[in-house]
Homo-oligomer: A and B are copies of this chain.
Amino acid sequence: MSKQMPPAHPFDDDKLHEECGIFGVIGVTDAANFVALGLHALQHRGQEAGGIVCHHPDHGFNHARRFGYVRDNFTKQSLMETLPGPLSIGHVRYSTAGGKAPVIRDVQPFFGEFAMGGAAIAHNGNITNADALRRELIERGSIFQSNSDSECIIHLMARSLQRTIPDRMEDALRRVEGAFSVVAMTRTKLIGVRDPLGVRPLVLGQLGDGWVLSSETCALDIIGAAFVREIEPGEMVVITDKGVESRRPFKPLSPRFCIFEHVYFSRPDSIIGGRSVYETRRQIGIELAREAPVEADIVCPVPDSGTPAAIGYSHESGIPYAMGIIRNQYMGRTFIEPTEQIRNMGVRLKLNVNRALIKDKRVILVDDSVVRGTTSRKIKEMILDAGAKEVHFRIASPPTAWPCFYGVDTPQREKLLAATMSEDEMRDHLAVDSLKFITLDGLYRAVGEASGRNAKCPQYCDACFSGEYPVAPSDQIEKGFELKAAE
């Protein structure tokens, strides 16, 4: 399956991955077509599989789940005709928390038939006490169909004593720990929820008389919906043909939005907190040029995610911006390696160095992050092979030293380069002339916090950089994960 789905990002296998995108529409004809478009715009948040559920007064609930890209599945007339009705939600996903081989049963939205009617939910985030909840539910006679942590929510709803589905959902989500943005639907309601910390994004849009919920604003743009506002941390909205009702099911907490959404996950044309992500990333480049200047001839982005920061770095430093690395538009993953060994073949399938440009130059390479460091090393080699005089890495995020347990696929701690090495050790390991990461304070400034990070109560979730987890990852701790020692 994966052979058929080459990654859209060239270094997909050495990046952190957002695990899900969610989208829902109410009050329009053939809502599932809009959901398909919305999921297409959110494809960068999950490429493994997608699912759509919809409801039509005459035809009831219908659904479809497919492995592969939205554009390859939810574009077929024959399939979309099976998904009628004015109310629909959808989900794209990268992989389960379990990390096992993908099975179609794990693809959301999940559906449950309750005594008062059916409901479907789509979840972005990760439930940190899912193992404990699952054990308890099985004890009581629930039969799980998937390996997904998200399935707990629908079983908790099935067993709730409340009378309406939104009430049952409140009931269920109060048992759940971790990070979650949820889009759900009944026969007549579209529901959106964000956890009390608001770790994962969720926005509200308007489309004619209808309403839209989406992980990012870029998916509002594709269907021409107007951006209304972000769903607030800890808020539940229940949308019917009478309008949007706002509820507050949880005890209030200080918000901790995921700062990595700014750095890498979200699309550059999405708007978070009133500013385009592109502009924030350009700002990161500017901060980086201030924090870590170096003499050089050209500033080159590592395509494609390093581009805005490289533009910012070039602008601030005055060093010319240039495309020293050209991406192959038709990336592949799995060619047969010929007998004569090709050096760095995996990288060559994805990009090529612009040799005539690089030769004899001092090159600043701007990348968004360093995870395992494997591709950074290969790119450096290709740049040197092409005759560069010096190579300086500038990284648009602080060292990634801790795994994320809130819906992002990270390697185990040991695999993170920054978990075991200092910045200097990493520079030597990569064998480059210099290597600099933006500081955590610099990053906070770039996202708009003029005075940097509030160490007492950080404005964002930055656990992957700081090791400070705003919600204790209880399943992981039970399995032996060690939190950062108190200082």
Q: Which residues of A contact B (CB under 8 A)?
A: 3-4, 6, 8-9, 28-30, 33-34, 36-37, 40-41, 43-44, 47, 69-72, 74-77, 80, 112-115, 138-145, 154-155, 158-159, 207-208, 218, 221-224, 267-269, 271, 275-276, 278-279, 304, 307-308, 311, 315, 320-323, 326, 328-340, 342-343, 345, 348-349, 352-357
Q: Is B208's CB under 8 angstroms from A336's CB?
A: no
Bound complex: CA A114 to CA B139 (Å): 7
Bound complex: CA A345 to CA B33 (Å): 12
What is the distance, in angstroms, from A90's C-beta to the closest C-beta of chain B? Answer: 13
Q: Is B335's CB under 8 angstroms from A6's CB?
A: no
Q: Is B326's CB under 8 angstroms from A69's CB?
A: no
Bound complex: CA A69 to CA B340 (Å): 24
Across the interface, which residues of B come within 8 angstroms of A334, CB to CB? 71, 75
26 A-B residue pairings within 8 Å (CB atoms): A3-B75, A9-B329, A37-B338, A37-B342, A37-B349, A40-B330, A40-B349, A43-B328, A43-B329, A43-B330, A69-B330, A71-B332, A74-B335, A75-B332, A112-B143, A113-B144, A141-B159, A143-B155, A143-B158, A208-B340, A224-B343, A268-B326, A276-B356, A278-B357, A279-B356, A279-B357
Bound complex: CA A53 to CA B70 (Å): 31
Bound complex: CA A487 to CA B30 (Å): 55
Across the interface, which residues of B come within 8 angstroms of A74, CB to CB? 335
The one of B72, B154, B304, B356 in contact with A3, judged by C-beta atoms closer than 8 angstroms, is B72
Q: Is A322's CB under 8 angstroms from B311's CB?
A: yes
The one of B8, B29, B154, B224 in contact with A342, judged by C-beta atoms closer than 8 angstroms, is B224
Q: Is B75's CB under 8 angstroms from A271's CB?
A: no
Given A138-B115, A336-B80, A352-B221, residue A71 in contact with residue B276 (CB < 8 A): no
The one of B3, B28, B141, B321 in contact with A321, judged by C-beta atoms closer than 8 angstroms, is B321
Given A33-B335, A141-B142, A276-B357, residue A328 in contact with residue B154 (CB < 8 A): no
- Report the nearest B residue to A209, measured CB to CB: B340
Across the interface, which residues of B come within 8 angstroms of A338, CB to CB? 28-30, 33-34, 37, 223
- Report the nearest B residue to A145, measured CB to CB: B145
Known pairs A34-B338, A113-B143, A113-B144 / 15 extra A-B pairs, C-beta < 8 Å:
A8-B329, A29-B338, A140-B141, A145-B145, A208-B340, A221-B348, A221-B352, A222-B342, A269-B355, A276-B355, A276-B357, A278-B354, A278-B357, A304-B329, A311-B323
